[in-house]
Amino acid sequence: MTTVTDVIENALALSLADRSYVASKLIESLEKEELTPEAIQEYDQRMDRWKSGETQSSTSAELDAKAQDILNR
């Protein structure tokens, strides 16, 4: 059974052009989805926490490092 981690590892091993294509198809699939009221509420709550300073944002380098850490487990 293929896991999300397997998919990510395989995608990261692709060439730049292929990774770009996969990323664009994933984003395209998200754009076609309708957000539920619950998802919108969750988004709004997360934004409120971020704006109040309760939650801090991360740089792309920090997120990349976290993703690599997960993949290396």
- State the distance between the two ends of the chain, measured CA to CA, in whole angstroms: 18
Residues 71 and 9: their CA atoms lie apart, in Å, by 7
pLDDT at 21: 94
pLDDT at 19: 92
pLDDT at 41: 93
Tokens of 25: 């198809």
pLDDT at 48: 92
Indicate the angle between helix axes 4-12 and 16-31, nearest 10 degrees: 140
pLDDT at 17: 92
For the chain, which residues score pLDDT lower than 50? none
